[in-house]
Amino acid sequence: MAWFSGLFSGKKRYSQRQMKELVEVPRALPKSTARGGEPRSDTLPRFHGTASDQLHRSRGSALERARFRLRSAFTPSQPVRSARMFAGRMEVLKTLIRSIEDQQLHVILYGDRGIGKTSLLHILAQLAREARYIVRYGSCGEGVEFTEMFRAILKDIPLLYHIDYEPTSVEIEEGKSLADLLPDGPLTVTMVSDILAKLAGTRVLIVLDEFDRAESQAFRRAIAELIKNLSDRSVRVQIVIAGVAANLTELIEHIPSIRRNILGLQVPSMNSTEIDELISNGQEACGLTFEQEAKALIAAAAYGSPYIASLLCQNAGLAAVERGANSVARQDAAQAIHQAVDEIEHRVSSRSLHYIARAYEDGHASNLGMLARAALHSSGRLLPHQSDMVLGEGKGADFVSMIGDKYGLTRPIADDPEGAFQFCEEGVPVYMWMRLAQDKLTAEDYDISALDRMAS
């Protein structure tokens, strides 16, 4: 904004036409440069819509509209925010609501990347707002700090809900918030909980997403202490923490003192009905029809992951539109898997790609793909019995350790009660499973049950 006001407030005066030129993006690229120079604008690829989400008038065919709608029908790189696009998860939501409302517990929601934690939190927040909770959603970054975060949270809670202030008091008329009661300087857990303990006439839900990214031990410990304080004093504030973890201990390793006051809830993989619902919601929103075979292939490759399902549906939908079809066929779903492998590969470190290539050269591609699939289904945990199912009775544990020792791809999960392992890098299991899906599932005569037989 600064440069913008500077532009118009400076001494130089601009004519109306000059002003228009300054603020307006040119409507079209300059037509033709007859000989050499810039390429002709009509040969360049174009955006299909405008930044205000409108389709160009000349591009309004049914297929173009479907392509356009695919953007919001499936959003693999963003969480779902609307109830209309939110599939399944009824049990998780019921448990969340019960724990918050009836048991007044704080909740730790954990699970693998892309399993749907943030989407769930958005819907939970909407439902809580409907029930007139004050909801504050915050995403923790690496450098998150207690003082900064809680000043912002308390700023969103009107002083009206402080038991010591009359609704007609001057401070409330002035629109003050609980943050106005805070002293300057760093905040302590006691300061924050003393103020929150004075809440009346409302309930507050504080959602802390991406908790695993908070590197500061002091921050994690302060949150634990706050949860303990709020629980001991029956304060009308509940905290929901969410983060990537293979087990609950991993997420709260430094804060075991709060275990009695929290519900640890793992977000499970989606079942086939839920994946079906995800596809149906998207299908309705984009206007394309997903043929049965395409749906079956997508569901098999997604293997319970809403992220993979969403990515494949979007890619498959685009592939159908590209070939001028208004229904998504098996071939589009197969193409979507190939494309997903390429896309996901870019997100894996070159170190891991190097060792994966070596392990594949040594003949472990199929076993690694199946292990990756098993890990994706259990929040990133590789349990000894699952490894045995893939590799044969008694062979799983040795193979998983060997993969760790020789290629550095796996490691034991600290303090895991069942002695589980995990892949060392987040994106690796999705990548290895998609590689196997590409090899096996996209073959014309694929048989999903054959894949399951490989694992038994």
Ligand X SMILES: Nc1ncnc2c1ncn2[C@@H]1O[C@H](COP(=O)(O)OP(=O)(O)OP(=O)(O)O)[C@@H](O)[C@H]1O
The helix (run of H) or strand (run of E) holding residue 107 is strand 106-111
Nearest approach in angstroms of CB 223 to Mg ion is: 18
The helix (run of H) or strand (run of E) holding residue 20 is helix 16-23
Nearest approach in angstroms of CB 184 to ligand X is: 34
Interaction of residue 352 with Mg ion, rule CB under 5 A: no
- The length of the chain is 456
- By rule CB under 5 A, what count of residues binds Mg ion? 2
Interaction of residue 118 with Mg ion, rule CB under 5 A: yes
Nearest approach in angstroms of CB 117 to Mg ion is: 5
The two beta strands, 106-111 and 237-244, are: parallel
Q: Pick from Mg ion, ligand X, none: which does 176 bind, CB < 5 to 8 A by kind?
A: none
Nearest approach in angstroms of CB 251 to ligand X is: 12
As beta bridge partners, residue 264 has 108
Nearest approach in angstroms of CB 69 to ligand X is: 15
* Closer Cβ to ligand X, 111 or 396, answer by number: 111
Nearest approach in angstroms of CB 298 to ligand X is: 13
DSSP sequence for 85-120: G----HHHHHHHHHHHHTS--EEEEEE-TTSSHHHH
**Using alpha carbons only, what angle is made at residue 315 by residues 309 and 319, rounded to the nearest 5 degrees?**
140
Residues that bind ligand X (CB under 6 A): 75-76, 79-80, 85-89, 111, 113-119, 244, 278, 306-307, 310
* Closer Cβ to ligand X, 73 or 192, answer by number: 73
Nearest approach in angstroms of CB 316 to Mg ion is: 24
Q: Whole-angstrom Cα distance, residue 178 to residue 157? A: 6
* Closer Cβ to Mg ion, 71 or 113, answer by number: 113
172: number of Cβ within 10 Å:
17
* Closer Cβ to Mg ion, 117 or 136, answer by number: 117
Q: Whole-angstrom Cα distance, residue 244 to residue 330? A: 33
Q: Pick from Mg ion, ligand X, none: which does 356 bind, CB < 5 to 8 A by kind?
A: none
Are the C-beta atoms of 251 and 211 separated by less than 8 Å?
yes
Q: Whole-angstrom Cα distance, residue 367 to residue 347? A: 22
448 φ, ψ (degrees, to nearest 5):
-60, -35
Give the three-class secondary structure for 246. coil
Q: Whole-angstrom Cα distance, residue 359 to residue 22? A: 57
Nearest approach in angstroms of CB 119 to Mg ion is: 8
* Closer Cβ to ligand X, 207 or 382, answer by number: 207
The two beta strands, 204-209 and 237-244, are: parallel
Residue closest to Mg ion when measured from CB atoms: 118
* Closer Cβ to ligand X, 75 or 422, answer by number: 75
Q: Pick from ligand X, Mg ion, none: which does 282 bind, CB < 5 to 8 A by kind?
A: none
What interhelical angle do 350-361 and 365-377 show, nearest 10? 130
Q: Pick from Mg ion, ligand X, none: which does 113 bind, CB < 5 to 8 A by kind?
A: ligand X
Give the three-class secondary structure for 56. coil
* Closer Cβ to Mg ion, 165 or 307, answer by number: 307
Q: Which residue, chain included where needed, has tokens 């003050």?
A: 176
Q: Pick from Mg ion, ligand X, none: which does 244 bind, CB < 5 to 8 A by kind?
A: ligand X
Interaction of residue 119 with Mg ion, rule CB under 5 A: no
**Using alpha carbons only, what angle is made at residue 211 by residues 208 and 217, rounded to the nearest 5 degrees?**
120
Sheet holding 106-111, edge to edge: 134-139, 204-209, 237-244, 106-111, 262-266
Q: Pick from Mg ion, ligand X, none: which does 115 bind, CB < 5 to 8 A by kind?
A: ligand X
Nearest approach in angstroms of CB 328 to ligand X is: 17
* Closer Cβ to ligand X, 110 or 421, answer by number: 110
Are the C-beta atoms of 88 and 273 separated by less than 8 Å?
yes
Q: Pick from Mg ion, ligand X, none: which does 313 bind, CB < 5 to 8 A by kind?
A: none
Q: Pick from ligand X, Mg ion, none: which does 49 bind, CB < 5 to 8 A by kind?
A: none
* Closer Cβ to ligand X, 117 or 295, answer by number: 117
- By CB under 5 A, name the binding residues for Mg ion: 117-118
